[in-house]
Amino acid sequence: MSRRKSHIVTSVVSAAVLAAGALFMTGCNKQSKQSGLSGSGPVIVKNNVIVIDTTQYTLVSSSSQLAAGTYVYLYKPSLAAIRHDADLTTGNIIIGTTGDGYLRKITSSTNDAGYITLATTQASLEDVFQQGTVTFSANNGTSYTLAHTPLASTTTNDLTASSGSLTFTGSAAYSLQFANGKLGAVSISSPEASVLENMILQASATGAGSFSATDTLQFTSLRTIAWADTIPVVITSDVTIIASVSGNSAGAFSDTFALTSNGSMALIENYSGGAWANSGSFTPNQGMNASVTPGAQPMNTQCTVTALLRIRLYGQTASQITVPLTFAAEGRRSTTTSDWDIAATLQNQAIITENAAIFGNIASDNTVLTAPVTNYATPYQVQKISGDNQTGAQGNYLAQPLVVRITDNNGNKQAGVPVYFSVTSGGGAMSYYTATSDAGGYVYGYWQLGHTPGAQTITVYVRKADGSNVAGAPVTFTAN
């Protein structure tokens, strides 16, 4: 280590060039690469900033020491004569590229037989740069395939992602403007972040029970070292896909839900004059469909799949983009009739958080963008298909059956729904007064006219578990 900045930088650059060939760093799916960093206008570094020369000083602190801010270095014997070098003294700022990097302010230092121990506190980029505009970018993405992936399982309840995929692409471009040793303005843009999710969820139970689980489906990390003047900026981008599920059931059921959400974001966040201003767009395109067990026992199922991009500078979180896709379903069943229904919701969000402490003495920011809720409901609607306004002889059956069809709110057929026929005028009769929709969602009723002259009516009811009518109900048929 030398007090001359040129000597320090030469050593670090040499080490960086040697490290540039390493494509992987230790850890789960971690990658490392070197990239350039540019700034508009001359960048001036404060004169108390010291870049640790890793060819001469080896960081040997334990994890508990690092957590306490204690940085212990083993230095080469050739440096014994300068181990009291004023570079490592109280008030100076040290920058290291080991691991995820570090940016610390020295509060005290101790030298002892080849080791130097520094007590430190967290520093910021405002402690490093005196003047100029520093720009850099962070990018990451990941894809994950779902194939019979168990999200939660107990002896009675199970939630499985039988198929699907998740693709996340995230990026952030930073521009930091320093003047007179202070951070004056920040611009952060995420022009092309997107989350594409397609899942088939199978929720089932063989009996009463509950489940709850949170799992990390995938984690990737990309490490970049960029340069601003003589300063290495260590950038780590972590992408995590997390599934959090819970639910319960009163008995057996088996439901399948198809979920899609293709969301794109174009976000710009600017800080100046002591305040953040946000602009951009969040465009989700989501949908839901289902195949459910008619008349199943009551149940609740919740599932949130979250894509999380965390950008760290020197190991400290700078920005975070969180995109949770939340699905919830409730199945209900009447305690007095055969009526039942299922209601489900799907919602996407984008949560952007700037933890500005690593930039400098400015406020942090949090922005939440929420998409409209997508709803699913079944049985949702009863439609009159045919059989209305027939003419027949008193006391005889009409030539054509009365036909209604039951659908969900996407217009898809729904089997297994109770349908009730009621004679409301004319004194006639039905071949049966309660029927259940078939595989095509249809119910056929045969009407025997009464002996009362004139118009006669039949009313058809379809209800949810709470007794309320579905859309389109009641349906009235008239005959003469």
* Neighbouring residues of 161: CB distance < 8 A, sequence distance ≥ 6: 146, 148, 149, 151, 199, 200, 201, 202, 243
Within 13 Å and on the Cβ side, how many CA atoms surround 277?
6
What predicted TM-score, i.e. pTM, was given to this entire model? 0.84
**Tens-binned pLDDT, residue by residue, of the chain (480 aa):** 433 343 343 333 333 332 332 222 222 333 333 333 444 468 999 999 999 988 889 999 999 999 999 999 998 766 544 544 668 899 999 999 999 999 999 999 998 878 899 999 999 999 999 999 999 998 888 999 999 999 999 999 999 999 999 998 888 999 999 999 999 999 999 877 888 999 999 999 999 999 999 999 999 999 999 999 899 999 999 999 999 999 999 999 999 999 999 888 888 999 999 999 988 888 888 999 999 999 999 999 999 999 999 999 999 999 999 999 999 999 999 999 999 999 999 999 989 999 999 999 999 999 998 889 999 999 999 999 999 999 999 999 999 999 999 999 999 999 999 999 999 999 999 999 999 999 999 999 999 999 999 999 999 999 999 999 999 999 999 999
Task: Give the 3-state secondary structure of residue 95.
Answer: strand
**Amino acid 22: pLDDT:** 27
The two tokens of residue 123 are 């520093």
> Are the beta carbons of 345 and 328 closer than 8 angstroms?
yes
Q: Where do the domains of the chain lie, and which CATH numbers do they carry?
A: 5-26+43-128 (no CATH), 130-377 (no CATH), 381-479 (2.60.40.10)
Contact present, 342 and 290 (Cβ < 8 Å): yes
End-to-end CA distance of the chain, in Å?
104
Where are the strands (E) in 42-128, listed by range?
Answer: 44-45, 49-51, 57-59, 70-75, 93-96, 102-112, 115-122
3-class state of residue 469 by DSSP: strand
| Confidence at residue 104, expressed as pLDDT on a 0 to 100 scale | 98
